[in-house]
Amino acid sequence: MKRIIRISVENLTWEGELFDTECGRAIWNSLPISTTLNTWGDEIYFTIPVHQELDETAKEVVDIGDLGYWPQGSAFCIFFGPTPISEGNEIRPASAVNIIGKVIDNPVTFRNVSSGSKITLERKEDA
């Protein structure tokens, strides 16, 4: 079963897929979520009502378009470029994150989003 989500910020919309992991399923089961987003370099993050530990997918350096869950902050993360602690062209979260999915659309367009904006995650399809 593919878990396709819609990510909306103001008049912008992206699609992503949540992977079939315990953490990915927990987030899927918590949708929809609407909250205020924060940015940190080329990362968007926001607190969600899910509490998971690091799992076998955890990484300290991620890829562009990765969707992550940061246990230390109970946060959903969207990675689209370097963060303030990245070295070179790597994408480095503040600390390890579970890789929970991938942005389907062009993740670089998240650069058009401002900290403090409202973000909504919702299920697109359950197929």
Q: How far apart are CA 50 and CA 60, in angstroms?
A: 20
Alpha helices, DSSP H only, in 1-127?
Answer: 22-30
Instruction: Report the Cα 1 to chain-centroid distance in Å.
Output: 20
Residue reference for tokens 């953490």: 23
Which pair of tokens denotes residue 20? 């079939």
CATH of 3-126, one of 3.40.640.10, 2.40.100.20, 3.40.50.150, 2.60.40.1260: 2.40.100.20
Condensed to tens digits (0 to 9), the pLDDT of residues 44-99 reads: 999 999 999 999 999 999 999 999 999 999 999 999 999 999 999 999 999 999 99
Domain boundaries, the chain: 3-126
Task: Give the 3-state secondary structure percentages of the chain, helix then strand then coil, rounded to 5.
Answer: 15, 45, 45
In this prediction the pTM is 0.96
